[in-house]
């Protein structure tokens, strides 16, 4: 049913823009989008007493995969065990796994309505597609390690922990910006 709704939304969005003779819709005003995002986060606090997240869902996937491949190895590691016993009944029956499934649907729906869903690789003009994909993998890897060291990523720590004024979350957030600005010059050919 969700797929039908999504397809219809995409058609409607595309048709509206075809009539208007325009390309993808412009992005929402950043302050308006920020208020929307903040209200979603606030709703999560009020409903659940916890915030949003993202990296945790992928940790559940990794833990389940490791257990499937080497059950004894996974069970001997406290880190994997933490995620294997995270849900109720099954490790995938967890808040973050279901939230990330929603994240996929919400992102797709918004992109469809705006005519922004397109198979492409995001990069600047001065780097090859292969180079860009290599750096995407490397950056993802750095973030995988970093988010586990910090016990969360931009969603769980910076956004959710920041809104409840956690000391560690604010220290984390400052370091994220510091790290990205520090390296920006060296990878400018990828983006500019």
Partner 1 sequence: MIAPFFKYGLFGDEASLILAFLVGIGFGFFLERAGFGSARKLTAQFYLTDLTVFKVMFTAIITALLGIFYLSWIGWVDLSLVYVPNTYLAPQILGGLLLGFGFIVGGYCPGTSVVGTATGRFDGFIFLLGLMAGIFAFGEAYPLLEGFVNSTDLGPITLPEALHVSYGLVVFAVVALAVVGFWGAGIVERRFAAR
Q: Which two tokens stand for residue 39?
A: 């209200």
Binding to partner 1 (CB under 8 A) within 99-138 occurs at 99-111, 114, 116-124, 132-133, 135-138
Least CB distance to partner 1 at residue 20 (A):
19
92 near 109, Cβ under 8 Å?
no
Q: Which two tokens stand for residue 172?
A: 């984390």
Least CB distance to partner 1 at residue 12 (A):
16
Least CB distance to partner 1 at residue 191 (A):
5
Least CB distance to partner 1 at residue 46 (A):
5
159 near 51, Cβ under 8 Å?
yes
Pick the closest to residue 64 from 81, 52, 88, 43 (CA basis).
Answer: 81
Q: Does 70 bind partner 1 (CB under 8 A)?
A: no
Q: Does 167 bind partner 1 (CB under 8 A)?
A: yes
Binding to partner 1 (CB under 8 A) within 3-32 occurs at 27-28, 30-31
Can you tell me which of 4, 21, 23, 78 binds partner 1, judged by CB under 8 A?
Answer: 78
- Whether the CA torsion 5, 154, 60, 135 is positive or negative: it is positive
87 near 60, Cβ under 8 Å?
yes
Q: Does 174 bind partner 1 (CB under 8 A)?
A: yes
């Amino acid at each position: 049913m969700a797929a039908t709704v999504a397809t219809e939304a995409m058609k409607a969005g595309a048709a509206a823009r075809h009539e208007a003779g325009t390309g993808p819709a412009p992005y929402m005003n950043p302050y308006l989008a920020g208020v929307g995002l903040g209200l979603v986060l606030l709703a999560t606090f009020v409903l659940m007493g916890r915030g949003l997240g993202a990296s945790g869902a992928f940790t559940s996937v990794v833990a389940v995969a490791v257990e499937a491949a080497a059950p004894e190895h996974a069970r001997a590691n406290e880190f994997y065990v933490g995620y294997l016993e995270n849900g109720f009944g099954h490790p995938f029956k967890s808040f973050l796994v279901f939230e990330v499934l929603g994240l996929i649907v919400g992102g797709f729906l918004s992109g469809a309505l705006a005519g922004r869903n397109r198979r492409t690789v995001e990069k600047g003009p001065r780097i090859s597609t292969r180079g860009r994909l290599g750096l995407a993998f490397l950056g993802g890897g750095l973030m995988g390690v970093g988010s586990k060291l910090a016990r969360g990523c931009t969603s769980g720590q910076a956004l959710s922990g920041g809104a409840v004024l956690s000391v560690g979350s604010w220290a984390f957030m400052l370091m994220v910006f510091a790290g990205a600005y520090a390296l920006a010059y060296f990878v400018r050919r990828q983006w500019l």
